[in-house]
Amino acid sequence: MKVAVVGATGLVGTKMLEVLAERNFPVTELLPVASEKSVGKEVFFKGVPYKVVGMQDAIAARPAVAIFSAGGSTSLEWAPQFAAAGITVIDNSSAWRMDPAKKLVVPEVNAAVLTADDKIIANPNCSTIQMVVALQPLHAKYRVRRVVVSTYQSVTGTGKKAVDQLMGERAKAVAGSTAEYPMAYKYPIDLNVIPQIDVFQDNGYTKEEMKMVKETCKIMGDDSIRVTATTVRIPVMGGHSESVNVEFAEEFDLQEVKALLQHAPGVVVVDDPVAQQYPMPMDAHEKDAVFVGRLRRDETQPRTLNMWVVSDNLRKGAATNAVQIAEYLLSKGMLA
């Protein structure tokens, strides 16, 4: 199968190449695509070098699928052109997520909404993906009414510039380095937390927080679910963590909740307070699962659960989810 990866030289694009290789997606010809300034550069896939090509050349090659991770403006301009050529686009930006004509998909939750006619498919926000994977089996049993979520998000979600800022600050603090480093954030990130991800909206919430509100309802197919979010950037690189407080319509049994999660696709339960075992970003790093722990009843109100959800944001939060969508389409005969 001929596969294009748009944004192949970026942080997520590089991870997409890794995931395609690891999961043995049947790539017979790879088309790494990037901006004009990167055309001609080499990227490696399964140890083999491939030259980066431009957008028009990629469209002319007619891949069966193009996985985009090149930013919203690029997706808005180019995804329709790929789709018009009969190429299925799986887009990792925010460009199409809330378009009512486009599907927003997490395979463990709502892959069944996809059809062969869907030529632009949206990959959700990283923090939303891991939360809905954990919520779905519980929603099916008890029906989620309200979610209060606070996130603790890796600098890798911002990109390489943020990683360089964190490591530059750390080198300066630890070894007295005088090397220059970029500032991805307005404030220092090492030994700090920044309670702002993306820009503020008129309602006082950030764009990232409102993504979680709107995307959760769309993915889970239930506009009655109420979500309120606070998203925070922290100085880690293994993945995103979330404190999730869930109110259900029906009463639940804590052991049954644990069993439902243990049998849910894509979920790994790490929940042993006696042994001090719980999910952490350092353990989720380079893994595809959504890890859930700290399961306990909220003692302040009925039918309410607290849980801690951790996942590698570059993998399940981006690259792996996109590849899983492609795998589903392939399994259903929806990719030419």
Catalytic residues: 126, 240
CA-wise closest residue to 154 among 315, 320, 319: 315
Q: Where are the alpha helices (DSSP H) in 206-280?
A: 207-220, 254-262
Please check whether residue 147 is in contact with residue 227, taking contact to mean a CB–CB distance below 8 angstroms: yes
- Write the DSSP symbol of residue 153: E
Strand residues in 7-157 grouped as ranges (E): 29-33, 42-45, 48-51, 65-68, 88-91, 103-104, 120-122, 144-153
Please check whether residue 213 is in contact with residue 227, taking contact to mean a CB–CB distance below 8 angstroms: yes
First to last CA, the chain: 8
Those residues with Cβ within 8 angstroms of residue 199's Cβ, 6 or more apart along the chain or in another chain: 206, 207
CA max distance for the chain: 60
